[in-house]
Amino acid sequence: MSKAYYQAPVGDFCVEDGSSILGKLTTHHRHELEHLQRNAWIDQIRYLQLSLASIFSGTLFFEFNIPRMGKRADCILVTEGIVFVIEFKVGSLAFDRHAIEQVYDYALDLKNFHEGSHSATIVPVLIATNAAKVDFVLELGADGVATPICIGRSGLDDLLAQAAGIPREQPVSSPDWEASGYKPTPTIIEAAQALYKSHDVTEISRSDASAKNLKATSDRIAEIIETSKREHKKSICFVTGVPGAGKTLAGLNIAASRAERHENENAVFLSGNGPLVTVLREALARDKVEQGKFSGEKISKKDAEREVSLFVQNIHHFRDHYLSDPNEPFEHVVVFDEAQRAWTTDQTSKFMQAKRGLADFDQSEPEFLIGVMDRHSEWCTIVCLIGGGQEINTGEAGLGEWLRAVENRFSDWEVHASTLLEDPHYTVSQDAVELLHSPKITKHEDLHLSVSMRSFRAERLSSFVSSVLDGDVSSASEALASLGDRYPILLTRDLVSAKNWLNSRARGSERTGLVASSGAHRLRPEGIHIKSAIDPKSWFLNDSQDVRSSYYLEDVATEFDIQGLELDWAGMCWDADLRMVDGSWQFNAFKGSKWQSVKTSTRQVYLLNAYRVLLTRARQGMIIFVPNGDPKDPTRPPAFYDQTFHFLRGCGIPELKQNDSL
């Protein structure tokens, strides 16, 4: 995919005929060209040819591709060792908030994901061509990205002159910058949108050696599907991965690529994670409506929702459909996200009796789901994505139920598994470990995703979190030290300071939010009400002006709301349900008006995993809030919190200084 529709040395651009430039832009435009876009380009060309006439060096890029966001910046100007990201609002008299946010996002995206921009000084510029001249001050952030500059019908030449005198992080040359690679790490929402629009996974994800196994995993699954199809076999494969490694991305890629290139397969992505399905479907539907506006095609929200529902579905809706429909399923390839969370026989039986009126239902969810796919007369493939330490709810089967179902009822199926599947983080039952020793199971190294991609600044975040939850101060300190300044983690005992820090760190549309355990009932005196359910669509997708959004830092998401999703900057609120006591974690549940000790090992694992989910949701950094407690309140005395705070500080997490939160 070309980086830009048009590029040329600045001197050549300034003397080239405008019609010639317009022709080159039009040639690369994939959509039907509207008069509005054509006229905008004409105005942009005229504006820049006048403003850049005195510039003798550098390169200009028109419609520069921003892969992770699936969008294009109007112009990139690399000159005098500085990268200018220019966005136009042709004919506009004002500078609207959304446009300022957009150009800031483009600049931050280059800084984080474009190799040539990592050490560059980057200046985002918004030009409203009908606005009067605006006074501005060029201010650089700590990472060399300037606060967006707003310019009217004139002033770009003044900005270039002013920028010439500022210190550079590291001057960049146009040829080197142009030749450098782009290694994006999309959010799961961005990835779903890009894949649904038929982008290849290599276009929207990192391609460096440390993250190459995402493509290798996708290729291995595709090979298994093709073999099953060619040889008329039925297969199931188990994919493992550390938190944030891209399991869901790999699954979405399989579903999207098979659906796009193999129409007769009807691949689908299934998840029992209700909020994830809700948010992805809403994001895809909104994006489809917006794309329709851009291309001149009117698409209703309901039509968009109906179409995207074929791509992403709730696993329980899929199950219920085939309870009443005994026919061969429509889908040949199904991807089950977080497959270890499928229900046990007991949990499924209770649900079927209470909610569906089926008194004699005696199958686990994995057994029933494999049975549905087994109805195929020729071939099919099931892809099970298994997260490490992700079981957080009663009745979740884990890996064992899938393996038992294959062993006892579907022995003719071919089984492919990650070599890491026997790791305690993925296999929690001894019988599952024994079943994995079956000679029928083919093991593949590339069915394991080992590198966290969510935290693009902190590939060792999952190791740090695991050490914290293991109570291992030494290992946690070592892992945290390896993160350095790339991924800030701070501690505070003041919620207001935590919120101020989050607001000070986020730029552009970077998403902030508060998260807490579903058992954090005694955070309520701090203003954190975990029983007040969020609306996932509004919380994860609406902008900073919407009081229902995560940005407002009022509504808090629990592990059930946020599993599989992410924030840029997270405020993690720690309650006394998981507290450090004399060097070991103590597990508690709040019942009625007091805390009760959690004795069963399964519920203890669920509680640890809840905190594991919460501590691995942030892409760029987080602050952990541990309350002071109240000596007058027997449900939250300081003793319930102090040892936890000191343990986390002993792991190397620095305490927030007052001036850092301003």
Supply the DSSP string of 309-340, one letter for each residue: TTTEEEHHHHHHHHHH--SPPS-SEEEEETGG
Three-state SS at 579: strand
Count Cα neighbours of 246 within 13 Å in the Cβ-side half-sphere: 33
Higher pLDDT, 243 or 360: 360
Q: What is the pLDDT of residue 435?
A: 82
Whether the per-residue pLDDT at 36 is higher than 80: the answer is: no
Per-residue DSSP letters for 25-42?
A: HHHH--SPPPHHHHHHHH
Three-state SS at 279: helix
Split at pLDDT 50, 70, 90, the class of 370 is very high
Q: What is the pLDDT of residue 453?
A: 60
Beta pairing, strands 556-557 & 512-516: parallel
Q: What is the pLDDT of residue 171?
A: 74
Q: What is the pLDDT of residue 29?
A: 77
Q: What is the pLDDT of residue 458?
A: 59
Split at pLDDT 50, 70, 90, the class of 116 is confident
Query: Pick from 72, 68, 126, 75: which is nearest to 97 by CA?
Result: 126
Q: What is the pLDDT of residue 126?
A: 96
- The runs of H, that is alpha helices, within 298-429 are 301-308, 315-324, 345-355, 365-373, 399-409
Q: What is the pLDDT of residue 257?
A: 80
pLDDT tens, residue by residue, 61-114: 999 988 665 678 999 999 888 999 999 999 899 898 999 999 999 999 999 888
Q: What is the pLDDT of residue 210?
A: 43
Q: What is the pLDDT of residue 260?
A: 65
Q: What is the pLDDT of residue 31?
A: 59
CA separation (Å) from 48 to 18, 58, 77, 515?
11, 13, 10, 46
Q: Which tokens go with 44?
A: 């942009």
Query: Among 447-456, 530-539, 559-568, 626-635, which stretch is predicted with the lowest mean pLDDT?
Result: 447-456
Q: Residue 550 gets which letter from DSSP?
A: G
Per-chain mean pLDDT for the chain: 88
Q: What is the pLDDT of residue 207?
A: 46
Split at pLDDT 50, 70, 90, the class of 646 is very high
Query: Pick from 459, 458, 456, 1: which is nearest to 185 by CA?
Result: 456
Q: Which tokens go with 254?
A: 């399989």
Measured distance between the N- and C-terminal CA atoms of the chain, rounded to whole angstroms: 42
Query: Among 64-73, 425-434, 487-496, 526-535, which stretch is predicted with the lowest mean pLDDT?
Result: 425-434
Whether the per-residue pLDDT at 208 is higher than 50: the answer is: no
Whether the per-residue pLDDT at 368 is higher than 50: the answer is: yes
Q: Give the mean pLDDT of 462-486.
A: 93
Could you tell me the pTM of the whole model?
Answer: 0.83
Query: Among 281-285, 301-305, 390-394, 486-490, which stretch is predicted with the lowest mean pLDDT?
Result: 390-394
- Give the whole-angstrom CA distance, residue 519 versus residue 531: 9
Q: Give the mean pLDDT of 155-166.
A: 87
The helix (run of H) or strand (run of E) holding residue 559 is: helix 559-562
Long-range contact set of residues 304-312: C-beta below 8 Å, sequence gap at least 24: 305/281, 308/196, 308/281, 308/284, 309/281, 310/266, 310/268, 311/196, 311/255, 311/256, 311/259, 311/268, 311/269, 311/284, 312/192, 312/252, 312/255, 312/268, 312/269, 312/271, 312/277, 312/280, 312/281, 312/284
Nearby residues of 35 by Cβ (< 8 Å), 6 or more positions away: none
Q: What is the pLDDT of residue 65?
A: 85
Q: What is the pLDDT of residue 66?
A: 82
- Give the whole-angstrom CA distance, residue 363 versus residue 314: 19
Q: Give the mean pLDDT of 184-197.
A: 77
Q: What angle do CA 402, 563, 415 make, to 5 degrees?
A: 20
Whether the per-residue pLDDT at 1 is higher than 50: the answer is: no
Q: Which tokens go with 138?
A: 């060029």
Percent of the chain with pLDDT over 90: 54
- Give the whole-angstrom CA distance, residue 274 versus residue 104: 32
- Give the whole-angstrom CA distance, residue 38 versus residue 54: 26
Q: Which domains does the chain have, with CATH numbers?
A: 4-179 (no CATH), 188-449 (3.40.50), 456-651 (3.40.50)
- Give the whole-angstrom CA distance, residue 38 versus residue 4: 16
Q: What is the pLDDT of residue 264?
A: 72
Nearby residues of 659 by Cβ (< 8 Å), 6 or more positions away: none
pLDDT tens, residue by residue, 303-323: 989 888 888 999 888 998 999
Neighbours of 434 (CB within 10 A): 13
The helix (run of H) or strand (run of E) holding residue 229 is: helix 213-231
Whether the per-residue pLDDT at 602 is higher than 90: the answer is: no
Q: Which tokens go with 615?
A: 């501590």
